[in-house]
């Protein structure tokens, strides 16, 4: 049982009444305060506009016929102001012309109370619109919470992708660094050996020295090739990581971005029997967001491996692109796997839709892809699939992405 200090305090709804008639103001003030409302009064539209912005009422009762600014114009100004645009406005009027009511609704009003009014009707309309506003606020809060949850899930998905990328670079660097270490160790042993020969009586022969020089050249060649390979890998992974974490807009060759992102997936792909084929014009230049494009490519490749070729012993993932005369880039990722059931096609971009629930599928991969393509890259994504006949995802992107 809650004690007195734990009982939540619910603030009284605030109602702003704007009317040039003192008798109406007094009557409404008395009746509404008895029913637990906090009342703010104004006798002119100008005064009402000022008090609406200052008091932030939950609802406004606004007389239509007033000197100077009438109620319709006052309502238009309320709806044009960011601080007051969401406050419901109920007009109070003695006018019965239907055209006047239409004018009021066009101005942004939500309801009418006809003078002389019955307090029961006034209370009913006030309570109805206050309840609607509370429900609308709760809905907005829920939408904001869902948006934050989605953003958190997308961020976690991106962090998981970066974790895989770190594992990938470690795996890719293992071979060139291992080769370099082997070459340097061998060269060190050969150098120690030749040094001992130099210090012994008689020195070294020409043949021994030539052999040492040949081994030195071979070691240097191995070190140079493998260290350059390691440097290229680090440069590529660094660019991909910067693109994916910053989502910066820049000019780039699409073929290079796709190849770089495919390279980050190599540790995963090497453990599968699948081959990735890239057919992208080498001179296709875009001014867009390479990080999000790379994330889309990675998600679609992973989707093909996880779903498209499930249960298959081999397969090809084909990535192709072309440029239309209208300046639109068509980028496709196609597999020849099991395909997607017809009943699923309309739902695959929905959040949390997955056929792998409980076995590693989050249902967010293709939803993230759809959001990136439409919201960041300014394009569209379509899917064509046939059960047993493979799947092709096609992105249609502007060469010049919209500015975010």
Spatial distance between the Cα atoms of 24 and 256, rounded to a whole number of angstroms: 74
Spatial distance between the Cα atoms of 63 and 109, rounded to a whole number of angstroms: 11
- Residue 252, beta-bridge partner list: 286
**With contact defined as beta carbons under 8 Å apart, do 196 and 249 qualify?**
no
Q: Express each pLDDT in 101-139 by its tens digit.
A: 888 889 998 888 888 878 888 888 888 888 888 888 888
Parallel/antiparallel/unpaired status of strands 59-63 and 14-18:
parallel
Spatial distance between the Cα atoms of 264 and 241, rounded to a whole number of angstroms: 10
Q: Please spell the DSSP secondary structure of 286-315, one letter per residue.
A: EEE-HHHHHHHHHHHHHHIIIIITTT-S-E
First vs last C-alpha separation in the chain: 52
Where the chain has pLDDT below 50, the residues are 1, 7, 357-363
Residue 382: its pLDDT value, please?
93
Spatial distance between the Cα atoms of 242 and 260, rounded to a whole number of angstroms: 12
Residue 12: its pLDDT value, please?
83
pTM greater than the 0.85 cutoff: no
Q: Express each pLDDT in 161-198 by its tens digit.
A: 566 566 656 666 777 788 788 888 888 888 888 888 77
- The CB density around residue 343, as the number of other CB atoms within 10 Å, is 7
Give the C-alpha distances (Å, rounded to integers) separating 142 from 84, 88, 138, 146.
21, 20, 6, 6
């Amino acid at each position: 049982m809650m004690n007195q200090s734990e009982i939540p305090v619910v603030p009284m709804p605030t109602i702003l009444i704007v009317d040039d008639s003192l008798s109406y103001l007094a009557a409404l003030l008395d009746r509404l305060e008895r029913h637990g409302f906090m009342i703010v009064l104004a006798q002119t539209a100008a005064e009402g506009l000022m008090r609406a912005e200052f008091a932030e009422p939950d609802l406004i009762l606004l007389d239509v016929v007033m000197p100077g600014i009438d109620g319709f114009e006052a309502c238009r100004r309320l709806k044009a102001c960011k601080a007051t645009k969401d406050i419901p406005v109920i007009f109070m009027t003695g006018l019965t012309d239907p055209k006047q009511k239409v004018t009021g609704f066009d101005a942004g009003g939500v309801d009418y109370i006809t003078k002389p009014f019955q307090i029961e009707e006034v209370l009913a309309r006030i309570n109805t619109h206050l309840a609607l506003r509370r429900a609308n606020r709760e809905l907005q809060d829920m939408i904001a919470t869902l948006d934050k949850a989605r953003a958190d899930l997308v961020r976690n998905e991106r962090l998981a992708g970066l974790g895989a990328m770190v594992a990938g670079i470690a795996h890719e660097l293992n071979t060139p660094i291992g080769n370099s270490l082997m070459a340097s160790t061998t060269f060190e042993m050969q150098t120690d050996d030749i040094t001992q020969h130099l210090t012994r009586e008689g020195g070294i022969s020409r043949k021994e020295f030539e052999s040492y020089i040949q081994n030195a050249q071979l070691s240097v060649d191995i070190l140079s090739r493998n260290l350059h390979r390691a440097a290229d890998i680090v440069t590529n992974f660094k660019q991909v990581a910067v693109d994916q974490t910053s989502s910066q807009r820049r000019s780039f060759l699409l073929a290079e971005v796709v190849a770089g992102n495919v390279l980050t997936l190599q540790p995963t792909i090497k453990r599968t029997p699948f081959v990735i084929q890239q057919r992208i014009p080498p001179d296709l230049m875009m001014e867009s967001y390479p990080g999000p494009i790379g994330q889309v490519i990675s998600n679609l490749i992973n989707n093909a491996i996880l779903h498209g070729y499930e249960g298959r012993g081999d397969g090809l993932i084909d990535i192709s692109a072309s440029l239309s005369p209208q300046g639109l880039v068509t980028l496709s990722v196609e597999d020849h796997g099991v395909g997607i059931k017809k009943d699923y096609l309309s739902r695959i971009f929905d959040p949390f839709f997955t056929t792998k629930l409980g076995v590693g599928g989050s249902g967010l991969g293709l939803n993230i892809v759809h959001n990136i393509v439409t919201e960041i890259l300014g394009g569209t994504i379509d899917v064509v699939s046939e059960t047993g006949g493979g799947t092709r995802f096609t992105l249609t992107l502007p060469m010049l992405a919209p500015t975010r």
